[in-house]
Amino acid sequence: MIKKLQLLFIVAVLLLSIFVPHSTVLVKAEEKAKQLQVNKSLLSMTEARDVTVELDLGYQADLSKLQWTFGGKPLKEWKKWNNEKGDFTGDPYITFKEPPQYIEGTNKIKATLHFDLLFGTNDLSPRNIRVKYPPFINNYELAVTDAGKGTKANASLKLNVYDSYRKYEEIKPAIDQIFKDKKPNRYAEYQSIGKTVEGRDMHLVVLAKDKAAVDAYLTKTLPLALENPEQLQQDIQSGKLKNYQVPIWFNNIHPDEAPGVDALVDLLQQFATKDTLSYKTTDVNGTEQTVTLDVNHALDNFIFVFNLAHNGDGRVHNTRQNANGFDLNRDNGNQTQIESINVTKEIAKWTPLSFLDFHGFVKGFLIEPCTPPHNPNFEYDLLIDGMIDNAYAMGQAGVANTAYEKYEIPALDYKNGWDDATTAYTAMFAMFHGALGHTIEIPDLNEESNKALLYAGLGAVKYALDHKEQLYMNQLEIFKRGVNGEDNKAVDQWLVNQEGKVIGRDRGENEKFFPDYYVLPVAKSLQKNALEVYNMVEYLIRNGIQVEQTTKEAVIDGVKYPKGSFIVPMHQAKRGLANAVLSDGEDVSDWEAMYDSVITNFPDLRGFNRYEIYQQNAFVNAAQPVEKVNKPAVDMKRKVKTYVVHNTNNDAVKLVNELLAQGKEVRYVNQNKLGYRKGDFVVKYADLLPLSHKYVVDAKPYPGKLLTKKLEKKTIAATGSMASRFVLKELGFTVAPATESSIVFDDQGKAKIEKGKTYIFSGGGALKSIKDQNIIPGFEFGNTDFYHEGILKMNVTPNQTYTSGYSNQEWIYTASGTWVKSLPQEAQVLLQVSNEGEFYKAGWWPGKEQVKGQVMAFSWQKDGYNVVAYANDLTFRAHTQQSYRLLSNAIFANSLK
């Protein structure tokens, strides 16, 4: 009965609504929410603004009883940031500049609200502020309410960081709008060049005169430039090739340096929608002048490439790092992160003439080129012939059109500490492709710095337009030196030591700096880690390096290189990049300051053998190009019950962890016998077979006469860096909180040592923590500086599960300038720096002589404590993959049943 009455009531209400006039309903709604008129609807956290408000409630309300709210909060509750207390308890953020009053003879109320600087500054670049602003970016309701009568007037205001700021989610719609608004005679192409760690699109836009210009560059001009640059030079000089376009690349890699992203979108909008762009600059005498850039003329000469989301996850989370916790501007050479792989592949594809990477924040408005030491693999004399003047052009435009009064060029204004000795930075990485590579560091995080980048970009385009042939001839000359195998001594004058003395390229006992070939064999007789050779070849190919594979055996200097060996012919356009990643690197320890790590050296840090050949045409008619790497499957021809998987590469670790995750049995070899070693793994044939094509491992039929123990799957706690967590997961380990794990890995010194658990420590900070906790009696460590690095020759203690798979002597990397000075007697030494004269190969380590002969790693167990400690850095930037098995060995050795 009740349900029937409820149904009748609903029907009655619906019928009543049909007969009630719609205008009446609308009037009542209007009375509840009236329009609030505002003279501006965009607010800025970095610029104080006054907003004039007008409203008409339809009657004369008592002004003293009106409630003013912003975002649902009374105005008085909005407070500015209190820098001393670190919270929002400062002065009022919103005040009345002109209090509410009626416009004479009307019911209209007028007032002016003052929105001050939310953080008390017009520069949000300080890191303690930079992480605070994202939650405040929003649309807010500004409302005036007469609670007594239930009337309200409102308007929506957007609070942004600065006017041009765009969230990641707003970038693609902005691109779409630019495409709609662009001049009809221009070609614009959008590409997602891949996905970020969290699956976001990496936006890249190509803007050109037309598609034919893009096709001509990629299929004709660039291939000729790389294969026969001298011919292209002649074609240009003779006038045979008149109309050609080359790329200029605009980039941002640190999205929390926010204007770098927004300036890219603004530049794209300007070039896509305008015919002319005018801006101010100054001449050599400092006299201001106006420049007009003809965009159509610029597009007759250039293709613009905009990388708008190098680190999309970082833009979402407002972090410098990507979602894995890696600074991508330290990963361009290493390429351990998917974003780096995607972008560097595109850089190789486009091989830009000019590369501009927008950064912040240096108060002097810094524009590269850099201080020494320079990477010796650059043809620096040709690059610098344009980079200084290009920096001037950018700086003059950036200053003339903004409130900034100066800019600085490290090459001219700094003594050291802002070098380009590394392969890590994006702009420097582009220089290996012959580009003028510039990092531009704006002073502030606000609209003014956004403008500074925009005008710097215009200045760079204008400079390239005025000097295109000279700049392109220089780039082609770089390629020509490579193709011809020329070691030009003009580079030497730019390579100096700390005292400014010219030292030139280190040619050692060779007549020339670059070898004629690198050989990367995969045969066991010459190679300790074939897996990393295959990975290296993949790396080289995607970075535009020519790789070949031998079609027959070759004997050179008494060494037999078997058929199937990979070779990198160094008479090629981009030999500098090949040499930068395959050579030993440089010892720059005499310098007082270096900006960051300088070592790339894949052979030592990834752990494979490569051979230098100084003999022209050594492999002529004996090799063919490689376009794709085919990794070999495990030989499973013998169908025996079990196989031994040798613990010689990281794929062996991944394989074992996948089997353990599947609940399969894996046993651990506990003796050295018959060519097998402690730390090898025993698995079942049936379990290995499905994975035989997934992993490159050295596996043999199991003889059944080895002592083994069962290996248990355990969770591992990573209490240190994000890199340590990334590496553990990459190797297939399960990472869990320390409370749920019996094994703890710490590379920063955060773990508190307790009885009953295994602690694996790595790096200088971790050793300091061991000392500070004072648990290991007699333990002392030495350190020069936690930023010192080097590749050290180390003696490896044999017959140890902790060092399984390593030779008795290895070159091993460290990044924190630390060693072990003393240990208790019961400790077991695992690694010790060689006492030989040549104990140090490359890096930056003033005072490195102190580490000679010192202990670098040990294990210690006593009274329920279990510690394995490495002074060297096992997981540094995920590039030290040669050292990963030191970590996995320690884990597996403490996971036996």
**Which are the catalytic amino acids?**
441
Task: Please say whether the beta carbons of 887 and 875 come within 8 A.
Answer: yes
Contacts of 775 (CB under 8 A, 6+ apart): 753, 865, 867
d(CA 538, CA 793): 28
Q: Is the peptide bond before 602 cis (omega within 30 degrees of 0)?
A: no
CB atoms within 10 A of CB 240: 10
Q: 585 Cβ partners below 8 Å, 6+ apart? A: 598, 599, 600, 601, 791, 841, 842, 843
Match 């062996």 to its residue by tokens.
Answer: 652
Pairing of strands 667-669, 681-684: antiparallel
d(CA 518, CA 579): 9
Q: Are 633 and 692 in contact (CB under 8 A)?
A: yes
* Of 505, 674, 510, 639, nearest in space to 585 by CA: 505
Q: How far lies 336's CA from each of 54, 330, 526, 535, 540, in Å? A: 57, 10, 26, 11, 14
Rounded to 5 degrees, φ, ψ at 466 are -75, -20
- Cα-Cα end-to-end distance for the chain: 71
Helix (H) and strand (E) counts for the chain?
24, 44
CA–CA distance, 379 with 486 (Å, rounded to integer): 11
The C-alpha angle with vertex 620 and arms to 618 and 621, in degrees rounded to 5, equals 140
Closest CA to 597 of 881, 886, 319, 877: 877
Pairing of strands 436-442, 554-556: unpaired
CA neighbor of 183 nearest in space, from 263, 103, 274, 119 = 274
Query: Residue 375's closest CA among 611, 605, 594, 613?
Result: 594
Distance (Å, rounded) from C-alpha 175 to C-alpha 789? 43
Strand-pair category, 828-833 with 818-822: unpaired
* SS3 per-residue string spanning 656-671: HHHHHHCCCCCEEECC
3-state SS string over 857-883? EEEEEECCEEEEEECCCCCHHHCCHHH
Q: DSSP letter string over 599-641?
A: ---HIIIII---EEE--TTTTTTSEEE-SS--PPPP---S--S
70 backbone φψ class: left, alpha, beta (φ>0; ψ -120 to 50): beta
DSSP 8-state assignment for residue 713: P
Cα–Cα distance, 702 to 412 (Å, whole number): 65
CA angle, corner 235, sides to 232 and 237, nearest 5?
A: 110
Strand partners, 156: 141
Three-state DSSP class for residue 597: coil
Rounded to whole angstroms, the maximal C-alpha distance in the chain is 106
3-state secondary structure at position 321: coil
Q: Give residue for tokens 């190797």.
A: 731
